[in-house]
Structure 1
Amino acid sequence: MSKSSEDLALPGPSSSMQRMETKAKCSDSPLPEFTPLPWTLAEIRAAIPPHLFLRQTRRGMAYLIRDLAMAAVAWELATLIDPFYARQHVVERLGPFGAECARWAAWLVYWWFQGLIFTGVWVIGHECGHGAFSPNQNICDAIGYIVHTLLWTPYFSWKISHHRHHCNHASMERDEVYVPKTRSDLGIPQEGSDVEFDYDEFFSDTPIYTLYMLIRQQLFAFPAYLICNVSGQKSYPKWTNHFSPNSVLFSPAQREAVLVSNLGILTMICIVSFASKTWGTAAIIKYYGIPWLCVTHWFIMITYLHHTDPELPHYRDAQWNFQRGAAATVDRDFLGWMGRFFLHDVAHFHVIHHFFPKMPFYHGPEATEYLEAFIGEHYRRSDKPVFRALWDNYNNCQFVDDEGDIVFFRNKRGQAVRRPASCTRQ
C-alpha cells in the first residue's frame, strides 16, 4: 500500500518535532486539507462485482449500429433542408428573410445532433482502443481503426499515447496530456520570495481575449496535440507528434502500427478530396466538416473538464501511484440526457473508467455506485453546468507550484482552493 507524505518523512524525534512545527504553521490556512487515496487497486477492484467487468461483443456492436443508423438518418434528413426552404409556398409564408433564417436554424439543429452522434461513434472507437468493446482484441482494433479513421484520429498512434496517459494520469513527470504549467514555466516567482509580482497585471486578459483563446482550444486543441504535442508532456523533444514513427511516443516495435494509422488518414484525405470534387466542397463542409468540428469540440471539452479542476490534485513521483492518479478526475453531468444517450456516459462516469479502462461504458453507472461507496470522499462529481465549468476552470486553473509532491491549480491571483494534509513537501 502506498504511504502518505507523513509516512515518507524521516523517522526520529527531530523529524516528528519538525512535522509538528510545520503543521502548526499550516493550521492557520483556511484551505481544506487533502489526504491522498490510501487503498491499493486490488482492494478497490474487490469492492466491485466481477460481472461488471465482462465485455459483450454483441452489445457493443448494437450500440455502434444504433449510432451509425442515427447518423445516416440525420444525414438523409439534412438533404431535405435546402430544397424544403426553397419551395415557393414556404418562401411566401415565411418571407425570403424568414425562410433563410429557418433554413440556417435547421442546419444548426443538424450540426448539433450530428456532432453529438459523431462524437458517440468516436467514443466507440475509444472503447475499442482500451479493449472494452469486445474481449476479442482483433475485433476491437478493426472497429476502432475504421471509426477513428473516419473521424480523423490516427487510431493506433493515439491508442498508444492514450494508454500511456491512463498509466500515468496526474503524474507531473510522466502524464501524456493536460500537464499543468508550473510557476517556472510562466516565469512566476515562488510563493514567499522577495521578488515583487503583480498577478493582476500578469493575468490581465480581457474576457473577449479569454473567450477567443477558449474557442481556439475547443476547435483546434486535439489536432494541435496530435501534430505538435500541444498540452502534452513538456519533457518531450520539440516536434513530438503522433504521425512520425520515430517519435519519442513510440517504441521501435510500434512503428508499423503508426504507419498503418497514417495510411488511414491518407485514405481519408483521398476520400474527402474525391467527395469535394464530386459534390462540392460546401456540401462536404455542411454535411460532414462542421459535425466533425463538433466532435473535436465535445471531445476536448469532455476531457479537459475531466482532468482540469481546482480541486483535483497532481502528483510528483514521491506521492504518485496508479490509483491516486485514477481518482484525480471528476464525473460531470454533461448535457443531461443527451450526454448520456449520444455520448455513452463517457462524461457522466469517467472516474471508474480511469480505474478500470477495460470496463465497458454500459457498466459505468452501476460500477460507479460501488466505487463511490468504497472510496467515499475521494470520489468527485460535479453538477455545475458544463459551459459554466469550462469558463470557470479555464480561468481558475492557471499553474501549479514547482515544489511539492502534491500540488493543486492556482488561479489568476495565485490562489489555490485545497492543500495537502501535510505541508512538509510544499
Structure 2
Amino acid sequence: MTSPTEAKQVYSEDHLPEFTPMPWTLSEIRAAIPAHFHVRKTWKGLLYLARDLAMAAVVWRVALHIDPTFRSEAMLQYLTPHAAETARWCAWAVYWWFQGLIFTGVWVIGHECGHGAFSASKRVCDIVGFITHTLLWTPYFSWQISHHRHHSNHASMERDEVYVPKTRSDLGIPKEGDVAFDYEDYLGDTPIYTLFMLVRQQVLAFPAYLLFNVSGQKGYPKWTNHFDPKSVLFTQRQRDAVILSNIGIAFMVWVVTEASRRWGASEVVKFYGIPWLLVTHWFIMITYLHHTDMELPHYRNSQWNFQRGAAATVDRNFLGWQGRFFLHDVAHFHVIHHFFPMLPFYNGAEATGYLKTFIGDHYRYSDRPVFQALWESYNDCQFVEDEGDVLFYRDRKGQARVRPATPFRAQTSDSPLAQQDTF
C-alpha cells in the first residue's frame, strides 16, 4: 500500500495550475500605456552613454595604479609579499566586476540603438549602435537583423531565433506509456558536469550563436552564422549592412592586435579582455533568464501571436541596484521591452506599472536570487512535448509546473495530456 506521505509525492498534472493564453490585442495593450512613455529623447540617451563612457574611463584610470601600488616597496613592507599579491588580485577582481558591468551598460545602449529606442533619428541610432557594439565585438547590423526577428516571433516554436526549447523527440525520449524507461537515462548528469556545461554556456554562448547558430532556430541550414552576407539570416538588400558589420569587427581585430603588440597581450586581457568576457556572460545570463522558466509558455501554429509571445518573458531583480544603475534596467523591465521594443529604457519602470495593471497575471516577475534562478532554470527546463500548441517546459523527471487550460491541451491520443483527460 502507498503511505500518505508517498501519496502526497505522486505527480499528477490534474493538480497543476492551468494557463489560458492572453486574450487582448496589441492595440488594446498599447492603449493602456500613456503615449508619452514612447517618446525618445536623443539628449537623454546621449547623457546615459556619456555617463557610461566616463565611468569606464575613470575605472580604467584607477586600474592603471593597481600593479604599481601593490608591487611597490612600501606596500611590500607594509604587507607581506604574499598578502600584497593577494590584495593585488583582489583589486583586479573588483575592477573586472565593475568594468564588466559598465561595459555591459554600453552594450545595452547599442541594443537600444538597434531597436530605434535611443533616438527618433535612425542615423543617430545606427552611428551610436555601430560604434558601441563594434567596440564590444558585436556585429551591429547583422545582430540587429536577427534580434528583430526574435522580437517579431518570440516564443514561437517554428519561427523564434533563440532559446527555442528542445522537444521530447529532439532528445530521443520515448513518449509516456510507449515503453518503460527512466528519465535519468536521458537527462541525468552529475552536478559537476552540469556546472561545467553551465559555465561554458555563460562564457561562450553568444560568440557561438553569432558564429555557429548555437541555440538558434533548428530549421536553419548547417553553418548558418552572422558573418556570411549570403546567410539565410539576411535578405539580399541587407547584405551591404552585414559587410559593414564585418568591417567593424575586422577593425577591432587590428586594434587588439596592435594594442597587444604595443602593451603586451596580458595587459590587453587584464584591462579589456576579461571585462569583455563578462559582458558576454551578463548578456547571456540576462537573456537566458528572461526567456527560460518553467512557467513561461511557448506556442505552435495558430495559438501564437505577437502579444502572447511578448508576455512569455519574465522581469527579474537582477543584481539589485547594480543591475538598475549599470545595466539600464534591461533585466528589471524586460517584459515591457518585448511588447514595445522602441520604448526607451528610462521609461521602462513606469510603463511596466501600467502594463502590469492591464494584463494582470499574464505579467511575470521573479525576485529569486539570479544565480540561484540560473542554476534552477538550467537544471529544470529540459524539453517540451512534440504535441500541442501551448507548451511548457518539463524537468529531468518529465514533470511540468503549469498545464494549458483544457481547450488548449494536446488532443492526440498518445499525448500525456490527452491521456490524463480520459480519467
TM norm structure 2:
0.93
CA distance in 2, matches of 1:338, 1:420: 37
- Residue of structure 2 in register with 1:59 after alignment: 44
**Residues 349-368 of structure 1: per-residue CA shift (max 9 Å, x gap):** 00000000000000000000
Output aligned runs, 1:323-342, within 5 Å. Answer: 323-342=307-326
Instruction: Kindly state the Cα deviation for residue 387 of structure 1 after the two structures are TM-superposed.
Output: 0.0
Hey, which bits of structure 1, 4+ residues long, moved more than 3 A? none
1:121 aligns with 2:106: yes
1:287 aligns with 2:277: no
- Residue of structure 1 in register with 2:360 after alignment: 376
> Out of 180, 186, 209, which is 1:225 matched to?
209
1:86 aligns with 2:71: yes
1:354 aligns with 2:338: yes
1:392 aligns with 2:376: yes
Q: Counterpart amino acid of 1:136?
A: S
Q: Counterpart amino acid of 1:336?
A: G
Instruction: Kindly state the Cα deviation for residue 204 of structure 1 after the two structures are TM-superposed.
Output: 2.1
Runs (5+) with no aligned partner, structure 1: 1-26
- Residue of structure 2 in register with 1:209 after alignment: 193
> Out of 168, 181, 200, which is 2:166 matched to?
181
- Residue of structure 1 in register with 2:8 after alignment: none
CA distance in 2, matches of 1:306, 1:258: 27
Any conservation in 1 of the 2:118–2:125 contact (CA below 8 Å)?
A: yes
Instruction: Kindly state the Cα deviation for residue 44 of structure 1 after the two structures are TM-superposed.
Output: 0.2
- Residue of structure 1 in register with 2:120 after alignment: 135
CA distance in 2, matches of 1:246, 1:180: 27
Compared CA separation, residues 200 and 125, structure 1 to 2 (3 A): same
Instruction: Kindly state the Cα deviation for residue 318 of structure 1 after the two structures are TM-superposed.
Output: 1.6
Matched residue SS, 1:297: helix
Q: Which shifted more, 415-424 or 234-243?
A: 415-424
- Residue of structure 2 in register with 1:417 after alignment: 401
Q: Counterpart amino acid of 2:64?
A: T
**Residues 173-217 of structure 1: per-residue CA shift (max 9 Å, x gap):** 00000000001110011223x222211222221100000000000
1:265 aligns with 2:265: no
Runs (5+) with no aligned partner, structure 2: 1-11, 412-416, 418-423
Matched residue SS, 2:80: helix
Any conservation in 1 of the 2:294–2:377 contact (CA below 8 Å)?
A: yes
CA distance in 2, matches of 1:85, 1:304: 38
Q: Counterpart amino acid of 1:227?
A: L
CA distance in 1, matches of 2:160, 2:136: 25
CA distance in 2, matches of 1:76, 1:317: 54
Matched residue SS, 1:60: helix
How many positions carry a matched residue from both structures? 399
> Out of 134, 141, 145, which is 1:160 matched to?
145
Cα RMSD between the aligned structures? 0.9
Matched residue SS, 2:58: helix
> Out of 336, 349, 353, which is 1:365 matched to?
349
Q: Counterpart amino acid of 2:96?
A: W
Instruction: Kindly state the Cα deviation for residue 236 of structure 1 after the two structures are TM-superposed.
Output: 0.4
CA distance in 2, matches of 1:365, 1:342: 15
Matched residue SS, 2:117: coil
Q: Counterpart amino acid of 2:354?
A: Y
CA distance in 2, matches of 1:288, 1:52: 36
Q: Counterpart amino acid of 1:94?
A: L
CA distance in 2, matches of 1:372, 1:353: 13
CA distance in 1, matches of 2:248, 2:151: 24
CA distance in 2, matches of 1:278, 1:402: 56
Matched residue SS, 1:409: coil
- Residue of structure 2 in register with 1:149 after alignment: 134
CA distance in 2, matches of 1:203, 1:244: 35
Among the aligned pairs, what percent are the same residue?
Answer: 70
> Out of 61, 67, 70, which is 2:55 matched to?
70
**Residues 145-200 of structure 1: per-residue CA shift (max 9 Å, x gap):** 000000000000000000000000000000000000001110011223x2222112
- Residue of structure 2 in register with 1:30 after alignment: 15
